[in-house]
């Protein structure tokens, strides 16, 4: 009888492991309405890839990630990203601080 219980326990454990593995392999559920398609960290990475070296403000508003900061020359830079897919909608740069210095 104890051998039968041990075999049953191993069979149950194996089936649970297989179920857990198949659940992990399923694709992620689609985003719910109102949820951004990209995370704040992904928005930061995209901003950095587009020249922002210092991020001072980041917010999600009207389906856009809006990032404000500066580039490597000290110029203010604003970047708007579509929250659904991370597409750059706007990049706006001011003159760098070094350009405002007298000669």
Q: Which residue has the higher pLDDT, 29 or 14?
A: 14
* Percentage of the chain lying above the pLDDT 90 cut: 56
pLDDT tens readout for residues 48-86: 999 999 999 999 999 999 999 999 999 999 999 999 999
In order of 1, 6, 40, 85, the CA distances from 56 in angstroms are 68, 60, 13, 22
pTM of the complete model: 0.60
78, exposed or middle or buried, with CB in 10 Å at 0-12, 13-18, 19+? middle
Q: Domain spans of the chain?
A: 35-96
Cα 21–chain centre separation: 25
76 closest CA partner among 57, 103, 102: 57
- CATH class entry, domain 35-96: alpha beta
Tokens 């003159």 appear where? 95
């Amino acid at each position: 009888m104890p051998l039968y219980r041990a075999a049953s326990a191993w069979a149950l454990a194996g089936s649970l492991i297989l179920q857990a593995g198949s659940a992990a392999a399923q694709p992620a559920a689609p985003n719910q309405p109102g949820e951004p398609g990209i995370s704040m960290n992904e928005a930061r990475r995209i901003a950095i890839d587009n020249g922002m070296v210092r991020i001072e403000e980041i917010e999600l508003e009207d389906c856009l990630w809006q990032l404000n900061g500066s580039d490597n020359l000290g110029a203010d830079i604003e970047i708007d990203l579509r929250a659904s897919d991370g597409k750059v909608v706007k990049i706006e740069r001011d003159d760098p601080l070094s350009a405002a210095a007298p000669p």
